[in-house]
């Protein structure tokens, strides 16, 4: 049971990271110091997507699920929890594009806000 709860906690942390990557720039409009966390998070996410690297949280979750007596899944975190669940069919690329637009627009807005404050 403890392993299953730990696996669920990893899923929550993973989702929180994904949400932060998408909207962290918007949060930085209110709290500019957040950009110091957001920029590396976005760069790490882009690196994972471009080079098809598995995020270390995914194998950790899989292992915890298995230790907790649950079935181990083989797909990625995004394939399991996002693609086909939040985005039906093959809309993942479109969702990634929209997320990239949100990140880019928020960074531009943060930059403009910072410039007008100076």
Cα(94)–Cα(98) distance, rounded to whole angstroms? 6
First to last CA, the chain: 53
Confidence of residue 72 (pLDDT cuts 50, 70, 90): confident
pLDDT digits (tens, 9 = 90+) for 8-62: 899 899 889 988 988 888 888 788 888 889 889 988 988 887 888 888 988 998 8
**107 within 8 A of 25, measured Cβ to Cβ:** yes
pLDDT at 85: 55
pLDDT tens-digit map of 81-110 = 666 555 555 655 666 676 777 777 777 776
């Amino acid at each position: 049971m403890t392993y299953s709860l730990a696996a669920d906690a990893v899923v929550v942390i993973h989702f929180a990271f994904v949400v932060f990557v998408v909207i962290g720039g918007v949060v930085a409009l209110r709290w500019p110091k957040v950009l110091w966390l957001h920029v590396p998070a976005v760069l790490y996410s882009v690196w994972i997507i471009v080079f098809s690297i598995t995020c270390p949280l995914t194998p950790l979750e899989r292992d915890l699920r298995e230790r907790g007596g649950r079935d181990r899944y083989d797909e990625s975190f995004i394939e399991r929890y996002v693609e086909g669940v939040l985005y039906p069919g093959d809309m993942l690329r479109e969702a990634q594009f929209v997320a990239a637009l949100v990140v880019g627009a928020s960074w531009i807005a943060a930059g403009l806000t910072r410039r007008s404050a100076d």
